[in-house]
Structure 1
Amino acid sequence: MLAIIALIIIPLPAALLDVLIVINLTLSMNILLITLFTKSVLEFSSFPTLLLFTTMFKLSLNMASTRLILTAGSAGQVISAFANVVTGSNYIVGIILFVIIMIVQLAVVTNGTGRVAEVSARFTLDAMPGKQMAIDSDLNSGLLDEKQARKKRDDLQREADFYGSMDGASKFVKGDAIASVLIVLINLIGGPIIFAAGGKMSIVQALSQFGKLSIGDGLVSAIPSLLISIASGVIVTRSANQTSFGATLSGDLLRNPQLFRIVAAILLILSVIPGFPFIPFALMGIVMFAGSSLVERNTVQQTQAKKRQQQQLELKKKRTKQEPEESVASFQVEPLAIEIGYGLIPLVDNTIENSLMDRIVSIRRQIAKELGILISPVRIRDNLYLDSNGYSIKIRGNEVAKGKIYPDKFMIIAQNDGHFPFKGIPTKDPAFHLDALWINAQDKEQAELQNFTIIEPLTVIATHLKEVINKHAPELLGRQEVKKLLEGIKGQSGVVIDELIPDIMRLGEVEKVLQNLLAEQIPINDLATILETLADYGTITKDAEMLTEYVRQALKRTIAAQYADENKTINIVTVHPRVEEMVAQNIQKTPTGSYPILKSETVNQILTAVGKVQQSLLVKDTKFVILTSPKIRLVFKKLISMNYPDIAVISLNEVPNEIKIVTVGTIEL
């Protein structure tokens, strides 16, 4: 404000006046654009005060330019440019244009702005008590907290203050327009009098010179004033819809494409009426028809977007309603899950043929057929912390296996010599830990010709997953899964189920027996036989291990079929009687099961003997099982399971009469 007052007092050179006039024009343009992009009057609450500053700044420039005009007979290049471009050689035309601008500003824009601001201020003040009561009601009902309610009250008060201030500030704009007219008259009258009386110019020359300068000065000040007047009208007529003027206008005008077609039809009709110019009307009609098509397409897209948004909102509401029921399940770990790196995400795409999802569905069916258990759906999620080509298999949130595959390569398994005639990435088959190599796709055909076993990336991860499920099957079988299994066969075995549960055994005891069977890879798909056996012996003992042995004996054909060859022969390794006697005499029963209590030297000797037999038979490529007496079968299996988990141990009672046995070795100390 001090600088503005200084402009009034201190004479300015013409060059500096040009710069300040351009600044004034730029400022008015910015103010207009700000009001167009403002979503709420509160975003530009300083506008009434800013009007005072812009008015004073513009008037100070008027006074500075008037001083130059009356003293030097010129007022800089900007005013001269406006005078020459607008008036040309006839300053009377400039005076008429200036008068029209002033009429528009005073009678239309300023007058209307003042009236709108006055009415808005009155209605805002009248509505304040009701709005404050609504805020208090929302606060009491819990829809708003104290901080939000205070902010809404402050915004309401600021809005009322704004419209009240605009009612008065519009008078600045009106007074500015009147002052501009008076200053133009002063320049137009005072300049010729001063210069003609002083003999510097003739009266005709003075009227022409100062007529142009006065109109140029008036236009330079009138145009920024008009822009600011328009800005005032825009901001006081803004609707409280929290969108910018452009978004509101486009939404209102482009809502109905049918209106464009009606207007286009009228224009085309006018174009063919004699006497009317054809090209302007026809061109505009075509443009309106094209605009209607674009608007209709945009309307369809917006409708579809709103429909999707509504569906998402309904789904969100549905989830919100279910939240109390699902809140506990939402943070529970899944029984079985696979986490993959971002490089493997395309393998999960359901749109491609034979995706990872399809493989998992196939694996669940195979497991159900081979082991007789129902695997719950496998959760697949991406993990940015994994290697891009890595994956991790988790059971109940804990990693049990991991691997790495390359979607654009193929895995080949090493042959007997262990040599790979290809360049690639050395690796181990994750399921069976065999030496392998990842080769490029162009080497696949050559590898087939050399009889290498070629495995696709999806097959690698699918085989690994199946192996993990087989190994950890007991962990994946819980009471819920057992209940589903029993409900599935209730139609054909309802009698034995009703007899067994809960009178003889509880569901958890049946679950333990089934887990014991799965721990040694015995399928439980013959549930009828298993339940019949448990019903028979469940009244005699509640020991899960003893009941498991009884069930194994009942499933002897199923067990023997796993290890017999096509000639119905099983290769067995016997346990020396002295070793059997030693193990039998050192069995300790605990609440968690039976365990061998042997000296560490004796355990090492037994494990060494098992290792020697296994090594000798592996050289001959002979598959075998260890055959023991029923009394020590389970304990002997526990004894060697830490070192030799893949060696099966069966008892004499688990070998049917029709199966032949061939002794291929003996475990002795």
Structure 2
Amino acid sequence: MDFSQILNSIKQGWSKSIAVPFAVLALLGMVTIPLPPFMLDIFFTFNIALSLVVLIVTLYAKRPLDFAIFPTIILVATLFRLSLNIASTRVILLEGHQGGNAAGNVIEAFGEFVIGGNYAVGLVVFAILVVINFVVITKGAGRVAEVSARFTLDSMPGKQMAIDADLNAGLITQEEAQLRRSEIATEAEFYGSMDGASKFVRGDAVAGLVILFINLIGGFAIGVGQHQLSFGEAAEIYTILTLGDGLVAQIPALLLSTATAIIVTRVTGGDKKDMGEQMQMQMFSNPKALGTTAGVIGFMGLIPGMPNAAFLTFAGVAGAGAYLIHKRQEEEAAKPVEGTVPQSEEAEKPKDLSWDDVQAVDVLGLEVGYRLIPMVDQSQNGQLLDRIKGVRRKVSQELGFLVPPVHIRDNLDLKPNQYRIMLMGVESGEGEIFPDKELAINPGQVFGEIAGIKTKDPAFGLEAVWVVPENQDQAQALGYTVVDASTVVATHVSQLIQDYSYELLGHDEVQQLLDKLKQSSPKLVSELIPDKLSLATLVKVLQNLLQEKVAIRDMRTILETLTSKSDISKDAAELTMAVRTALGRSIVQQLVGNEGELKVITLDPSLEQILLQATQGAPEGQLAVEPGLAERLHGTLKEESQKIEVNGQTPVLLVAPQIRAQLARLFRYSLPSLVILAYSEVPENRQISVVANVGQGG
């Protein structure tokens, strides 16, 4: 890069960094520095052009955040217009006695041409513009901006929870979640800024009135007192100049107020269309509306005394538009669907039966009713397939093995809005959803009720309400977590995959894990399998871990532990206990994170001794305790677990290693939220806090 290129880059960087501050300082300088009339013409023309550009940009913006700099533009444009008012007032009062063009051709044109040189008409026109701008547009836009800012801030917690729910369900990536959180924060800042910026527009309308009266009174006084003009001459000259100045400022102000009203009243939804596309799609997509309008206008045009030509002309235009829209819709409906094949006239003969006709049972399946078919049809913008792919990706990364694909098919035996999740050909979960509604889930504390169809979240059983999409923001403002129908199904699938992950892991999946690990640790894999341990035993150990919600991502540690313990025992239960001890740090970290103490429930030593004795002589994996003791133990653990869950923590029961597996199996389904750890599984550097002690008497 030569010296000239370096100099050009410095100039470009300097111009970008100094241009805006220099322009703002120039606006402030206009307040004090006198401007000649030709400069006023240039700046007034630029002011009108700037207002038109802002208005057009708001019309073509697909959503308000596409023009996030708009509040600042309002401030700068308002400051520019007020500076022009001050500069023009100075010229009018100093040079107005010389004639109509003393303040420039633009002011003269608006004073002579627009209002016809009649200051009475000019006063009326100016008053109407001020009323329209101040009372109608500015006041309405300010109110909408205020309500939007308040509503956006109230709905932020619900939107954040919805993002967290999508992230936890694997529907979006971490980068997408950060982008959506950034958009929510930007949206809140935008509407908050618009609430304040609308006050600038309102204040500008008031300033226009004040400047008008100052120019009129000051002009009369200067013209009569200093320049010896007659009262009539002073009134005519200064009134027309003042009204021309007021109109040339009020028209850009009206354009900017209209742009403000448009951008704060936009409802974009998810279609991301500009205002023209939305108007065409929502107002002129139904031929019945135009047809009815044509009939009413045509009937009015036949009434004697009415302007028949105008009414009948518009009736004809509306009727022709309705006919063209109806014809276009019929042509689109008659188009054949891509990919369809016409049926042959002669049916094919049935083929002989073969092994290909015997279909294997799908490991994971999803059956949907006929009204849910568009959700899985990508040609109809169905999102469920992509959501389930995201679920598989996230769950596979968390568990440590590749989750089998989910095969989706329709089932006419189901209700129209019903879906069913199949595992190994057996129904494992079902639910009923409404594709055209959103599910507002009560996370535990909301600030009111919302109208809709009451139900329960199929994945976790939480209270929920199906609401129309228009009430989504209201539900989020009340504290509900709002998700769409596709997310409901995907979350349910994700939960069932995690609950039954141990059944999804088979010999083929384990062999693939070994083949992958063999690339980095070939000696470790070849030494263990099959010399020291069979593949079936390894599969059983990994299934035991998954059944107890322990991920198998760290296959290196698992195989190293099995290699060292396989000489002592080949029992899958004992090997599982050894692997859990080796993975203790990651197990505890999953419960409480990197920091913080581990709060646990413990058993009274006498009760623990009884349970240890109950394992002797009992069938493998069971506890030989009397039913009364088991019932009291279950009731006490349930009560203590609920106390811990209220504080947002996971209840943990810390017991001796010899009885951990038996207690975990005993309370696996009755107390699913209770995590049972052995003393040996807690790392030495982890602080333990005993929050409850359970005795023999419960």
Q: Any idea what the Cα deviations from partners look like across 1:442-467, whole Å, max 9, x if unmatched?
A: 11122233332111111111111000
1:489 correspondence with 2:517? yes
- Report the counterpart of residue 410 of structure 1 in structure 2: 438
Q: Distance in 2 between matches of 1:470 and 1:636?
A: 21
Consecutive aligned runs of 4 or more in structure 1 exceeding 4 Å deviation: 304-310, 415-420, 588-591
Task: Check conservation: 1:574, 1:626, Cα contact below 8 A.
Answer: yes
Could you tell me which of 538, 541, 558 is aligned with 2:569?
Answer: 541
Structure-to-structure mapping, 1:173-252, within 5 angstroms: none
Distance verdict in 2 for CA 1:451–1:307, change over 3 Å:
closer
Q: Select which of 652, 658, 666 maps to 2:679.
A: 652
2:642 partner amino acid: Q
Q: How far did residue 375 of structure 1 move?
A: 1.2
Q: Letter of the 2:659 partner, please give it.
A: I
Structure 1 residue 535 displacement after superposition:
1.1
1:459-478 to 2 correspondence within 5 Å? 459-478=487-506
Please give the secondary structure, in 2, of the residue aligned with 1:388: coil
Q: Residues 534-554 of structure 1: CA distance to partner in whole angstroms, max 9, x if unpaired?
A: 111112101111000100111
Structure 1 residues 306 and 515, CA gap change in structure 2 (3 angstroms): closer
Question: In structure 1, what is the Cα distance between the partners aligned to 2:450 and 2:679?
Answer: 50
* 3-state SS in 2 of match to 1:650: strand
Choose the corresponding residue for 2:469, options 430, 438, 441: 441
1:635 maps to 662
Could you say which residue in structure 2 is the equivalent of 1:174? none
> d(CA) in 2 for partners of 1:380 and 1:425?
27
Q: C-alpha separation between the residues in 1 aligned to 2:688 and 2:383?
A: 44
1:337 paired with 2:365, answer: yes
Of 598, 612, 624, which residue of structure 2 is paired with 1:597? 624
Which of 343, 352, 355 is the aligned partner of 2:383? 355
Distance verdict in 2 for CA 1:326–1:420, change over 3 Å: farther
Match of 2:426 in 1: 398
Name the counterpart of 1:479.
507
Name the residue aligned to 2:693: 666
Is the 1:589–1:595 contact (alpha carbons within 8 Å) kept by the matching residues of 2?
no
Q: How far 1:651 sits from its partner (Å)?
A: 1.0
Distance 1:627 1:421, change over 3 A: same
CA contact (8 A) 1:583 1:596 kept: yes
Distance 1:306 1:440, change over 3 A: closer
Shift of 1:469: 0.5
Question: What does residue 503 of structure 1 align with?
Answer: 531
User: Aligned with 1:469: secondary structure?
Assistant: helix
Quick one: distance in 1 between partners of 2:503 and 2:355?
26
In structure 2, how many angstroms separate the alpha carbons of the residues matched to 1:647 and 1:626? Answer: 7
Shift of 1:523: 0.2
Partner in structure 1 of residue 641 of structure 2: 614
1:326 & 1:568 partners in 2: Cα distance? Answer: 57
Q: 1:405 to 1:549 in 2, by over 3 A?
A: same
Q: 1:12-27 alignment to 2 at 5 Å?
A: none
Deviations 1:49-86 (A, max 9, x none): xxxxxxxxxxxxxxxxxxxxxxxxxxxxxxxxxxxxxx
Q: State the Cα deviation string for residues 477-514 of structure 1 (Å, max 9, x = none).
A: 11121112212222012211111111111111100000
Q: CA deviation at 1:386?
A: 0.6
Question: Which digits, 9 at most, give the CA deviation of each residue in 1:97-144, with x for residues without a partner?
Answer: xxxxxxxxxxxxxxxxxxxxxxxxxxxxxxxxxxxxxxxxxxxxxxxx
**C-alpha distance in 2 between matches for 1:634 and 1:383:** 41
Instruction: Tell me the amino acid that sits aligned with residue 594 of structure 1.
Output: G
Is the 2:445–2:479 Cα contact (8 Å) retained in structure 1?
no
Contact 2:517 2:525 in 1 (8 A): no
Distance 2:653 2:659 in 1: 12
CA distance in 2, matches of 1:496, 1:632: 31
Q: Which residue identity does 2:394 align to in structure 1? A: Q
- Distance in 1 of aligned mates of 2:462 and 2:342: 51
Could you say which residue in structure 2 is the equivalent of 1:125?
none
Indicate the residue corresponding to 2:267 in structure 1. none
Classify 1:481/1:306 alpha carbon distance in 2 versus 1 (closer, same or farther; 3 Å).
closer
Q: In structure 2, what is the equivalent of residue 557 of structure 1?
A: 585
Task: Compute the RMSD of aligned alpha carbons.
Answer: 2.9
| Structure 1 CA distance for aligned equivalents of residues 514 and 578 of structure 2 | 20
Counterparts of 2:376 and 2:585, CA distance in 1: 40
Q: Distance in 2 between matches of 1:548 and 1:447?
A: 46
Structure 1 residue 418, shift from structure 2 partner:
6.2
Counterparts in 2 of 1:384 and 1:570: CA distance versus 1, 3 Å = same
| 1:353 to partner: Cα distance | 5.3
Alpha-carbon spacing, 1:320–1:486, altered in 2? closer, same or farther (3 Å): farther
Question: Could you tell me how far apart the structure 1 residues matched to 2:500 and 2:443 are?
Answer: 29
Instruction: Report the equivalent of 1:13.
Output: none
Q: How far is the alpha carbon of 1:649 from its aligned partner?
A: 0.4
Unpaired segments of 5 or more residues in structure 1? 1-303
Per-residue CA deviations over 1:369-415 (Å, capped at 9, x if unaligned) read 10112111111010101111111011111001111111100011126
**Alpha carbons 1:613, 1:667 under 8 Å: kept:** no
Q: Superposed, which structure 2 residues align to 1:23-42 within 5 Å?
A: none
CA distance, structure 2, for counterparts of residue 657 and residue 326 of structure 1: 57
Q: Give 1:357 deviation, angstroms.
A: 1.3
Inter-partner Cα distance in structure 2 for 1:619 and 1:306:
56
| CA distance 1:365–1:320, change in 2 (3 Å) | farther
- Specify the alignment match of 1:380 in structure 2: 408
In the TM superposition, residue 590 of structure 1 has moved relative to its aligned partner by 7.2
What SS is found at the alignment partner of 1:594? coil
Distance 1:348 1:307, change over 3 A: closer
Number of residues paired by the alignment? 358
Q: Quick one: distance in 2 between partners of 1:338 and 1:551?
A: 34
Q: Would you say the 8 A contact 2:584–2:682 is kept in 1? A: yes
Looking at structure 2, the residues matched to 495 and 507 of structure 1 have their Cα atoms a distance apart, in angstroms, of 16
Once the two structures are superposed, residues 233-261 of structure 1 have per-residue CA deviations (whole angstroms, 9 ceiling, x without a partner) of: xxxxxxxxxxxxxxxxxxxxxxxxxxxxx
Give how far 1:612 is off. 2.2
Counterpart secondary structure, 1:626: strand
Mapped to 2, the partners of 1:385 and 1:620 lie a distance apart of 44
- Which is higher, the Rg of structure 1 or of structure 2? 1
Aligned partner of residue 466 in structure 2, secondary structure: strand
Bigger relative contact order, structure 1 or 2 (CA pairs below 8 A, ≥6 apart):
2
Amino acid at match of 1:507: L
Residue identity matched to 1:658 = N
With over 3 angstroms needed to count, the CA separation of the structure-2 counterparts of 1:445 and 1:621, relative to structure 1, is closer
Matches within 5 A, 1:88-99: none
Greater shift in the superposed pair: 551-560 or 606-615: 606-615
What SS class does the counterpart of residue 558 from structure 1 fall into? helix
Q: Give aligned-pair identity as a percent.
A: 35
CA distances 1:172-231 after superposition (whole Å, capped 9, x unpaired): xxxxxxxxxxxxxxxxxxxxxxxxxxxxxxxxxxxxxxxxxxxxxxxxxxxxxxxxxxxx
Work out the CA distance in 2 between the residues paired with 1:439 and 1:448: 11
- 8 Å CA contact retained: 1:628, 1:650: yes
Partner of 1:531: 559
In the alignment, residue 650 of structure 1 is paired with which amino acid?
L
Please report the TM-score for the alignment, with normalisation by the length of structure 2.
0.48
Does 2:404 match 1:366? no
Question: Residue type of the partner of 2:634?
Answer: L
| Alpha-carbon distance change, 307 to 644 in structure 1, aligned in 2, over 3 angstroms | closer
Specify the code of the residue in structure 1 equivalent to 2:667: I
- Tell me how far 1:524 sits from its aligned partner: 0.2
Q: Where do 1:52-131 residues align within 5 Å?
A: none
Question: Hey, what's the Cα distance between the residues in 1 that align with 2:484 and 2:492?
Answer: 12
Q: Conserved in 2, the CA contact under 8 Å of 1:394 and 1:400? A: yes
Describe the SS at the equivalent of 1:658: coil
